[in-house]
Structure formats: C-alpha cells, structure tokens
C-alpha cells in the first residue's frame, strides 16, 4: 500500500510538472507567433516558428540597457549636477563621453553610448531599443543584433566627428537607429508579402517615432537654450544608414549564413571605406585638431 501511495504521488507530481511546462511552452509559442508577425515576412514565419525557443533570452539588449541606465543613475544621483534635466559639467568630464578634444582616447568612439544628456534622452532611447531590440534579438539572436547595434554606434561617432567635428556626442541613438533602419528596410522590401494595412501601419509608426525623435534632437542642437555644451545629432542619421545597409542584410538572412551573402560584403566594404576616410579626416583634416 505504501509503495502504491508513493507511486501515485510521484505520478501526480510528474503530471503537475508536465502541465506547468505545457503552460510555459504555450505562452512562449504565443509570444513567438506575435513576434514573427511583426519581424518577418509571411514566407519566413514557418521556418522561424519551427526552431523558435526562449533560450537564450535577449541578453544583449537587456544588458546594454541596464548598463546605460546604471551610468545615467550614477551621474544623476551621485554627481552634484542637474543631470535629470540636461547635460552638465559632470557628464562633460566623464571618461565615456565623446569629445573633439579627447579623440586620441579611442574608446570614447564607442563608450559615448553609455552616457545620456537628460531624463528625456535616456527614456526615449531605452524605450525604442527595448520595444524593438528584444523582438529582433529573439528572432535573430544576440550576435547579429549586437553587430548591427555596434555598427550604428561606431558609425555615428565617426560621422559626427566628420560632419559636426566641434560638437560632443552622448547617447545610444546611433545603435538604436541602426536597429530601426534595418527593420524599416525589411518592412519596405517585404511590403507586398504583408497585409497592406498592417504594412502601412508599421511604416507610419516608424515614421512617427523617427520624426519625433529627430525633431527633439534638432531642437536640442540648434534651438533650445543649453547651459552646458551642445550635443551633435549626426549619430541618428549615420546609425540609420548603417542599419539600412548592414542591418538590412543581416536581418533579411535570419535563417541563412549572412557571411555567404554578397550584399553583406558590399555593405562591409562600404562601411570600412567610410571608417578609413573618417580616421584619415580626424588625424589630418579635422577643424578640432
């Protein structure tokens, strides 16, 4: 009798575990189905859903967002300045910010993404990269999303050093706009494979978000009275262009090896040509020298 009771209790526990796993799997499947409708054309959704799982989770976007938020809190709370409102001296003296007079410290061309000019700046960037970056990373995985994101960050700082050479640079807008640019191009190219109203809605949504954010960036750069140094807006444009080239190729090859795609190498060569030109400009031609 005792053995029978033990067997029955074991079977009940196993049944409860299976039911719990089933509920988790069902929820995960629903999430992936919704994401596939937003991120992929119809002919690619089946392949994605066959292999989709929640492991690994979108660690890159979550990690980079936590790092940016932590740096913002450090300068906003522990430094004596009005960082909640606008850029101030504490951030200007940060070892992370990109500054024209500190261009010999090469890490600043990447680390500037960790520092933000105020509460509106960081909230806008975090919202965009989480709402778009998490679904993109669930579909394309972290190594692809991080490649696109960092291409936008580096391209943004280099473009700013060429086109707006006397201005500082803070914020993750270059990386965020690279994700937006790659997603936008995939929506545009695959528009015929979508429900027309759904495709139009997505394009309008991207246009509204980009237009509003660019409007604020231009306002901060040219119109708003700023107590501290002004900040360049060029990274938005350069990040978007990086996304529309490198990001488009990578995101359109979600089920293929993008290294074998000739479009990827064309984009990489164009990116490297720009990188070499920007380095040459900064060393020999920049007004900031």
- Residue of 116, 232, 236, 252 with catalytic role: 236
Residues paired with residue 168 on neighbouring β-strands, in sequence order: 231
Q: Rounded to an integer, what distance in angstroms lies between the CA atom of residue 97 and that of residue 113? A: 8
Instruction: Classify residue 286 by burial, with Cβ atoms within 10 Å: 0-12, 13-18, 19+.
Output: middle
DSSP 255: T
In the annotation, is 236 catalytic?
yes
CA dihedral 139, 140, 143, 149 (to 10 degrees): -100
The answer to whether 77 and 262 are in contact (CB under 8 A) is no
**Residue 175: which of 264, 228, 114, 224 has the closest Cα?**
114
In the annotation, is 140 catalytic?
no
Angle, helix 59-73 to helix 119-140, in steps of 10 degrees = 170
Sorted by sequence, the CB contacts under 8 Å of residue 3 that are 6+ apart come out as none
Catalytic residue ranges: 173, 236
């Amino acid at each position: 009798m005792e053995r029978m009771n033990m067997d029955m209790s074991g079977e009940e526990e196993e049944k409860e575990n299976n039911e719990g796993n089933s509920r988790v799997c069902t929820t995960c499947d629903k999430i992936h189905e919704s994401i596939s409708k937003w991120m992929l054309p119809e002919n690619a959704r089946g392949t994605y859903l066959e292999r989709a799982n929640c492991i690994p989770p979108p660690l890159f976007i979550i990690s980079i967002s936590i790092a940016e938020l932590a740096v913002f809190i450090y300068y906003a709370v522990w430094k004596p300045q009005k960082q909640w409102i606008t850029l101030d001296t504490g951030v200007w003296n940060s070892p992370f910010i990109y500054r024209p007079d500190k261009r010999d410290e090469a890490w600043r061309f990447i680390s500037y993404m960790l520092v933000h000019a105020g509460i509106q700046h960081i909230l806008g960037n975090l919202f965009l990269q989480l709402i778009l970056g998490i679904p993109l990373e669930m579909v394309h995985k972290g190594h692809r999303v991080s490649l696109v994101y960092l291409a936008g960050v580096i391209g943004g700082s280099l473009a700013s050093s060429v086109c707006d050479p006397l201005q500082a640079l803070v914020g993750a807008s270059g990386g965020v706009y690279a994700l937006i640019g790659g997603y936008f191009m995939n929506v545009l190219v695959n528009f015929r494979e979508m429900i027309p109203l759904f495709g139009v809605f997505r394009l309008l949504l991207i246009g509204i978000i980009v237009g509003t954010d660019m409007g604020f960036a231009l306002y901060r750069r040219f119109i708003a009275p700023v107590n501290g140094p002004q900040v360049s807006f060029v990274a938005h444009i350069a990040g978007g262009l990086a996304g529309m080239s490198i990001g488009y190729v990578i995101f359109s090859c979600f089920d293929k090896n993008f290294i074998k795609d000739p479009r990827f190498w064309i984009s990489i060569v164009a990116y490297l040509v720009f990188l070499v030109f920007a380095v040459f400009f900064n060393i020999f031609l920049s007004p900031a020298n």
